[in-house]
Structure 1
Amino acid sequence: MKTRFLFLLLTLISFIPSYGQLVVKGKITDAETGDPIPFASVLLQGTSTGISTDFEGNYLLESNNRADSLEVTYIGYNSITKAIGPGNEHTINFQLRPSDYEMEAFVFEAGENPAFDIIRKAVDKRKSFDKRKLDAYQTKNYTKIEIDIDHVSEAFTKRKAVKKVTAVLDSIKQLTNDEGEKILPVFFSETLSSFYFRNNPELKKEVVEKSKVTGVGITDGATVSQITGAAFQEYNFYRNWISILEKEFVSPIADGWRGFYDYDLLDSTKIGNDSVYVLQVYPLRTQDLAFTGTIWINKNTYALKQVDLTIPKEANLNFIERIKIQQELTPTDPGALIPSKTRVQVKIGQITPKTAGLLAKFYTSVDSIETGNPKPTSFFNQAVVLQPDFDQEGEDFWNKNRRDPLSEEELAVLQMVDTLKKIPVIRFYSESLKFLASGYLPIGKLDLGPWPGFFNYNNVEGIRIGAGLRTNLKFSDKWKIEGYAAYGLLDKRLKYSGAITKIVDRERWTTVKISTQKEIDQVGLEMESLEGNSIFLAASRFGTFRKPFISTNYKLDIKRELFKGFTLTGGIKSNHFDPLFNFYYLDEGASELKSTFKTTEGKIGLRYGRDETFIINDNDRISLGPAKWPIFAINYSRGFQWLRGEYNYSRLKVSISQKLNMGMLGISRYEASAGKVYGDVPYPVLENHLGNETLFYTSAAFNTMDFNEFTSDQYFSFRYRHFFEGFLLNKIPLVRKLKWRAVANANLLFGSVSEANLSRVPVMDPDGFPLQTFGSLDPATPFLELGYGVENIFKFFRVDFFHRMTYLDDPSVKPFAVKVSAQIIF
């Protein structure tokens, strides 16, 4: 009887509607990219019950109120409402689509905008929360990067080579968005690292403990692993200016916020235990390098809690459709804030309608934050260090140690990238692109190249054919052997070069190199001085040579980084100068004319870049440039007669260069150098200032000066370049749509030649024919040229117009010059 009664009671209860606590959970993602949307609002319709998603886009809403639908809203996206079925527990996921959101102007009829007082207090507290105020801190970081090809147009997919790839795409449905657009992943990396920072001096270091890199065209992950860690994904909104893609964007809480932003106080809410203001951020001018989006500021401390900011499409950027930065900040014990999670998305549009776009995603998670106990400065000698076994772990390790599990989409990305890089046509194109970019083609333990030297044509050599080889990391990480040979069909001379480099220490970069070379050079256009100006150098190797000579030299070079940023170089060089033009000089103490000479130089140099960052690529070390501090260099060389040289002389050169952020005015770069040659020597040993008679612009030359026009034995030069970004041309309505950007140049040169060196230059050769010599500068009158121009023409081209302001007496001088160049800039 009791059993029957209990059964009846349970049956009746099952027909009574349940009014227990409602629990709804799920995830909010971007419908186009699959990325989570943090900080979105989730609301039970018809109630005041709501919650915000966490940084991973997840939400968990618990309520005693009932509702029949759930609404998700977020600024910049279309809102979505979904029905809630019967029962108490539900899982409802949402995919939001970006809206055509346009910024509106807010008008406050009386009193000050209430958001201004909040921002003003947040700016006043900036120094208290800036992590740079800490003496030191260190963190454990997990970083993942994904790069996809998207906007795969119909014309692009119809290409013969691409059809073989799209057939593979169709087999993995997870790699399409809701509109059915294909996404082609080409790169995915994960990195576990330790990041170290110390102040006074400000130094940084990242130790990559484990890294996993897979990508189309990636054969060696060592170089890539140095730039995929957290050190290169740092965005500190407590700086006035934030560097992204080599552009400087103003922070919403910068000192000069009133000149760049407007704000709207949207709401007051709670995140965890913190009550926060929710503010919408708007650039005053849409073309400025500024952000739009939402920031959350703590009500009590006025510290940033979260940011979700986007660089508008209207900003003067090339190819970029969107840059989005989402960040969550965590306070340390001393009070400064460190980003605990950061997500960055960069969307690059199609260059032409028949090409595809790119989507790059960066994610960094930080934990195990420790403050204080700064490491010694010697610890920071190398900015990025790879542990010996950094790439040895398999999938089991990553499944156990990655802090955030990979989503279904990310697992599909890994599968696709592994599949793509095995397709022959993909391998062919990726290897071809690397060959064009680096100049070398890997063949086992050797690299063939450089390809610009395979074929040249000029008036001295006629058709010139050459080829070279060098060893790579597969051969040795301690030795580098390289050689090159070329032959001119007209002059019938063999040219060659060879070198052996011993890498003594890869941590404090230390190398010893011996080399020899027999090559055609040009006075004032020596190949050694044009390293790093590959286009200009290549252009100067074609056509007509100016003052060519055969240079046969033997060199010993030693390099050692003594401590962070401070490099010592030294060596010795023996050179034989054999002119191929009508050249003579008066020998010292004699009246006879000579045309060839030998020099032997010992040299020593010091270079200091306080915050310059280097990475190691194969067996070379590459500079990524400094962040803000100048680079100083001083070089001294001494010529010796007793080491089979013909002259005793000394050469001293000092230089300084720097990049300057000028805020809304743009970016400036300057290089200043001064030098002096002590002793009486033939003029090819003096400073032969670099002119430019080519059509191509180069910052290394004086662009209205002829080749070999001026020579000095003491000089001072100053070069100044300014990039206005969109500051000037953005204000012209029609030009603004073209996204052209103004540039300016000023190049100044003081110089002179001593009477002793002038007296060595004859005006006639032994047969009585006049000699081509050089011009000298008046010490009281500098050479000055001023330039202006426009870059970003059709997104690639730049045109500069130069006016020569002094030394206009020579009728052969061209006082005005137009130079062109091509560049890929954002």
Structure 2
Amino acid sequence: MKQLLFPILLLLSTVLHAQTKVSGLVVDESGAPVSFANVLFKDSSVGTITNDDGRFYLESENTYNTLEISFMGYRTRELPLATKVNYNLKIVMEEASENLKEVVVYSGKQSKKNNPAIDILKKIWAKKRRNGLRMFEQYSYDKYEKVEFDLNTIDSAFMKKKVFKGLEFVFQDLDTSRITGKTYLPIFLNETFSKMYGDNNFNEEREVVIGNKNSGFSNNQAIIAFVKDLYTPYNIYDNYLKFFDKSFTSPLSTTGIEVYNYVLADSAYIDNKWCYNIIYYPRRKSELTFKGDFWVNDTTFAIKKIDLQVTKSANINWVKDIYIEQEFDVVNDSVFLLNRDYLMSNFSLRKKEDTQGVYGKRTTVYKNYNFDRPKPKEFYKVKGNVYNPEVLDKDETFWQTNRLEPLNKDEKGIYQLLDTLETVPKFKTFYNIVSILGSGYVEVPKWNMDIGDIYSWFGYNEAEGVRLRGGARTYFGQNDPWRLEGYLAYGFTDHKVKHGFSAKWLLDKDTRLIVSGGNRRDVEQLGISLTATNDVLGRSIASSSIVTVGSNDRLTNINLSTFNLEFEPVTNLRLLTGVSFRTLSSALPDAFSLDYVDPSSPTGISSVTKDFEFNSTLIYTPGSRIIGYGVERRNINDNYSTLLLSYTKGMSGFFGSGFDYEKFQFSYSQPWQLGGFGRLLSSVEVGKTFGTVPLGLLSVVPGNQTFFSIFNTFPNLNFYEFVTDTYASVHLEHNFNGRIFSRIPLVRKWNLREIVGLRGVWGELSDANKALSSPTNIPLMAPTDKIYWEYSVGVGNIFRIFRIDFNFRGNYLENPEARPFGVTGSFGFSF
């Protein structure tokens, strides 16, 4: 999160002029807007589609004298353009009549039968796996990518705001978007030049980044990570295209005929190839679909050009528009290869036409294709997520040589203005505020330290009462080879000081060999996770919830010391090994006991558990993408699976530890993007403890007495309601992303999202473990006779930030204080 909002505060001014600009409104004879009408410059393939309100904007660097407007069921209009700039036109379309010389007239929903556009679409499906790069065994090419962010819809009132006092010089010149016709001000630019290699026999691809440049952030991996996550790769031939964690149905999808109307609108030569023009638009509102058109070759049925624009009613937050253009080069009679890819997003708090926001624009140019030059399979097996700092240190000569598309005046001005902005005190103040909000830390550069995080300073629980916490960490830069971090906390009820301290040191960048250690002495809600980690700075939300269901008094005093080694022998495979020593005791002994039978104690009972253990863990995250090369790195995607295998050996006799045991644990979590049906999140956990251990070392089925929806917990279970030494659990949660609500007229405009969940756990607890912890004052039960299960239904995206889940308990209703029903929720900003 650090500095993610920082680019929004950067300002500059330049100007870029197009030769022909036109905007307007297309209506029918009654004055109703005509949505999805085709608008283009006559005798060209330069065009656009009107939006849901019938409005359009079109721009070209060439000069055109006539505008052509057409739509199914209406007579085609040709409108002379008196000047190069024609704004706010109102174009009235006349309904087509029988005596017009129309070959075929389409209107409204199109038939799926006897439709020539769908016949062509089926031929695209048949050929798509033999088009483009798939036609060759090996391939390589150069890729140049630039990502730009712009403030948009800038007017005089916006420029006169007090926040810009002293920064007025950035508004000297503004330009107009060629897509929307709105004024904009470029504020950030990122450039990347890469060499791409692929082998279709191995189904492998590798990107070698040669250079990367940010406007004012020559080494800022936070910005790079944000950009990479924002614009993930896509292929228009795929059935579903993923943008902002949502799966949109591609107009070329084999399921497209269920959600789109298709119309064969035109045919023409493009680059000496005869192509058909097909217009498409959605059959229903509020679904994740596009509108636009594409040109397809009549023999290879390869796409020559395609435009996609997200419909205004699509169920996506904070994004008002998404517009995509792709152009393909004709290499020979049968090969069409992607030449240029342009994507523009309009981020805004509201979808109203005059709302100010931020354009995010990505332009990718592909050149210098080579084929059938094999490389060994080992070439594609990169060792670790290696990040080379040299790619951030390329001079202007490198960029002049390797930019596959030159910068325009706007983009050049971004680099020129930053030096001036960084000398303005007010700009520095803006930076500090946004940096604190984005990262949670207050930077103190002269001490090379960050204070925070500010979001964990307050807490409350029944043992500590009101709790205040303050912390700090060393910070010389984002790729620090070592880091120290710690905190102090104080409870106003128990009048005790708590602390946590951690140290990490990266010994070898190639193998990612890291040594770490630390100590934590605090109050914690244990049993919130089956596969808990030995994080000396971690703390669950259940430990500080101000309001809980029932008494949240089963809290534990923990004193934990750890020492660990970690390394990454191959990409996304981490091996961790270490030792830890902990002492555990109840924070509220009258309400919650951790007592166990101890023959060596004078009373025969001990209240403090001491445990020394050796732990070895393997974590594999295939598909994870990570950026950075310091001791702490950043993940830039969330659509990967996680496999964890852990072995723990408890050893008695060390530092007073009295327990010999072995514990094996395995967990597997996987998000599944199920096309137009939404996103499924799944998790499986199994584990077994061999040996006799007290309650504090057993595997507690994670209950949840908070009002927060927490995945991998059981919201209708109380803390410590089920305790096991052998367990297996499954959690499933599916978000339909509004697919059902979008078909209900009364609620479709609210853009709600339906969520269902199912979870279950089975476990055992041996008689020996029950006997050892028999002095405790809580029941010792495991869900052995039958699987404990719950289900839930929820509604998300309420006011775009809230989610509510209604949770139902399936069985074990006879348990003491069993909760058959509960309501949990969460809030957050998501697309």
Question: TM-score, normalization: structure 1?
Answer: 0.83
The C-alpha deviation readout for 1:470-491, integer Å capped at 9, x for no partner, is 2234397322222323333443
State how 1:507-522 maps to structure 2 within 5 Å.
507-522=510-525
1:410 corresponds in structure 2 to: 411
3-state DSSP class of the match of 2:242? Answer: strand
1:796 corresponds in structure 2 to: 801
* Contact map agreement 1:169 1:182 (CA 8 A) in 2: no
**Alpha carbons of 1:418 and 1:545: their partners in 2 closer, same or farther (altered >3 Å)?**
farther
2:66 corresponds in structure 1 to: 71
2:114 corresponds in structure 1 to: 112
2:502 corresponds in structure 1 to: 499
Aligned-residue RMSD, C-alpha: 3.9
Task: State yes or no: 1:638 paired with 2:649.
Answer: yes
* Contact map agreement 1:226 1:385 (CA 8 A) in 2: no
Q: Name the CA distance, whole Å, in 2 between partners of 1:274 and 1:532.
A: 63
**Alpha carbons of 1:28 and 1:394: their partners in 2 closer, same or farther (altered >3 Å)?**
farther
**Alpha carbons of 1:202 and 1:594: their partners in 2 closer, same or farther (altered >3 Å)?**
farther
2:682 corresponds in structure 1 to: 670
The C-alpha deviation readout for 1:348-394, integer Å capped at 9, x for no partner, is 23349897322111111111223342453464436875543323345
1:446 corresponds in structure 2 to: 449
TM-aligned CA deviation for residue 146 of structure 1: 1.3
2:485 corresponds in structure 1 to: 482
2:619 corresponds in structure 1 to: 607
Residue of structure 2 aligned with 1:563, choices 570, 575, 581 = 570
Structure 2: which 5+ residue stretches go unaligned?
1-16, 25-37, 49-57, 94-104
TM-aligned CA deviation for residue 587 of structure 1: 2.3
* Contact map agreement 2:670 2:682 (CA 8 A) in 1: yes
Q: Name the CA distance, whole Å, in 1 between partners of 2:474 and 2:91.
A: 54
TM-aligned CA deviation for residue 808 of structure 1: 1.0
Task: State yes or no: 1:782 paired with 2:787.
Answer: yes
Q: Which amino acid aligns with 2:360?
A: A
**Alpha carbons of 1:155 and 1:510: their partners in 2 closer, same or farther (altered >3 Å)?**
farther
Q: Which amino acid aligns with 2:668?
A: I
Q: Name the CA distance, whole Å, in 2 between partners of 1:308 and 1:522.
A: 53
Q: Name the CA distance, whole Å, in 2 between partners of 1:180 and 1:232.
A: 23
**Alpha carbons of 1:490 and 1:388: their partners in 2 closer, same or farther (altered >3 Å)?**
same
Residue of structure 1 aligned with 2:148, choices 141, 146, 149 = 146
Q: Which amino acid aligns with 2:604?
A: E
State how 1:117-128 maps to structure 2 within 5 Å.
117-128=119-130
Residue of structure 1 aligned with 2:558, choices 542, 545, 551 = 551
2:281 corresponds in structure 1 to: 282
1:257 corresponds in structure 2 to: 256
2:390 corresponds in structure 1 to: 389
3-state DSSP class of the match of 1:734? Answer: coil
TM-aligned CA deviation for residue 787 of structure 1: 0.6
**Alpha carbons of 1:348 and 1:243: their partners in 2 closer, same or farther (altered >3 Å)?**
same
2:358 corresponds in structure 1 to: 358
The C-alpha deviation readout for 1:151-191, integer Å capped at 9, x for no partner, is 357886675324555x3344234479999965343322222
Aligned residues: 764
Q: Name the CA distance, whole Å, in 1 between partners of 2:660 and 2:158.
A: 65
State how 1:703-722 maps to structure 2 within 5 Å.
703-722=715-734
State how 1:580-619 maps to structure 2 within 5 Å.
580-582=587-589, 583=593, 584-587=595-598, 592-616=604-628, 619=631
TM-aligned CA deviation for residue 125 of structure 1: 0.9
TM-aligned CA deviation for residue 325 of structure 1: 0.8
Residue of structure 1 aligned with 2:736, choices 724, 745, 768 = 724
* Contact map agreement 2:599 2:605 (CA 8 A) in 1: no
**Alpha carbons of 1:281 and 1:53: their partners in 2 closer, same or farther (altered >3 Å)?**
closer
Q: Which amino acid aligns with 1:71?
A: T
**Alpha carbons of 1:111 and 1:825: their partners in 2 closer, same or farther (altered >3 Å)?**
closer
1:747 corresponds in structure 2 to: 759
* Contact map agreement 2:502 2:536 (CA 8 A) in 1: no
Q: Which amino acid aligns with 1:562?
A: P
Q: Name the CA distance, whole Å, in 2 between partners of 1:105 and 1:365.
A: 37
TM-aligned CA deviation for residue 27 of structure 1: 4.6
The C-alpha deviation readout for 1:573-624, integer Å capped at 9, x for no partner, is 1112233232211126888100112111111122223322222275312334
Q: Name the CA distance, whole Å, in 2 between partners of 1:489 and 1:452.
A: 19
Task: State yes or no: 1:172 paired with 2:184.
Answer: no
Q: Which amino acid aligns with 2:744?
A: I
TM-aligned CA deviation for residue 132 of structure 1: 5.8
3-state DSSP class of the match of 2:507? Answer: strand
1:343 corresponds in structure 2 to: 342
Task: State yes or no: 1:812 paired with 2:804.
Answer: no
Which stretch has the larger CA shift, 93-102 or 591-600? 93-102
3-state DSSP class of the match of 1:730? Answer: helix
3-state DSSP class of the match of 1:390? Answer: helix
* Contact map agreement 2:452 2:470 (CA 8 A) in 1: yes
**Alpha carbons of 1:375 and 1:473: their partners in 2 closer, same or farther (altered >3 Å)?**
farther
* Contact map agreement 1:522 1:546 (CA 8 A) in 2: no
Structure 1 or 2, whichever has the larger Rg, is: 1
* Contact map agreement 1:207 1:384 (CA 8 A) in 2: no
**Alpha carbons of 1:95 and 1:513: their partners in 2 closer, same or farther (altered >3 Å)?**
farther
Q: Name the CA distance, whole Å, in 1 between partners of 2:77 and 2:638.
A: 42
TM-aligned CA deviation for residue 506 of structure 1: 3.2
Q: Name the CA distance, whole Å, in 2 between partners of 1:648 and 1:178.
A: 69
**Alpha carbons of 1:404 and 1:806: their partners in 2 closer, same or farther (altered >3 Å)?**
same
3-state DSSP class of the match of 2:782? Answer: coil
TM-aligned CA deviation for residue 413 of structure 1: 4.7
* Contact map agreement 2:159 2:171 (CA 8 A) in 1: no
**Alpha carbons of 1:740 and 1:417: their partners in 2 closer, same or farther (altered >3 Å)?**
farther
Q: Which amino acid aligns with 1:721?
A: E
Residue of structure 2 aligned with 1:578, choices 581, 585, 589 = 585
Q: Which amino acid aligns with 2:783?
A: D
Q: Name the CA distance, whole Å, in 1 between partners of 2:554 and 2:716.
A: 19
Q: Which amino acid aligns with 2:128?
A: R
3-state DSSP class of the match of 1:733? Answer: coil
TM-aligned CA deviation for residue 287 of structure 1: 2.4
Q: Which amino acid aligns with 1:171?
A: Q
Q: Name the CA distance, whole Å, in 1 between partners of 2:500 and 2:256.
A: 57
Q: Name the CA distance, whole Å, in 2 between partners of 1:532 and 1:104.
A: 64
* Contact map agreement 1:452 1:538 (CA 8 A) in 2: no
Q: Name the CA distance, whole Å, in 1 between partners of 2:181 and 2:65.
A: 26
Q: Name the CA distance, whole Å, in 2 between partners of 1:209 and 1:187.
A: 21
Task: State yes or no: 1:317 paired with 2:329.
Answer: no
Q: Name the CA distance, whole Å, in 1 between partners of 2:251 and 2:351.
A: 34
* Contact map agreement 2:751 2:797 (CA 8 A) in 1: yes
Seq. identity, %? 25
3-state DSSP class of the match of 1:620? Answer: coil
State how 1:47-58 maps to structure 2 within 5 Å.
50-52=43-45
The C-alpha deviation readout for 1:248-281, integer Å capped at 9, x for no partner, is 1122222223222221111111121322111111
Q: Name the CA distance, whole Å, in 1 between partners of 2:333 and 2:702.
A: 54
1:688 corresponds in structure 2 to: 700
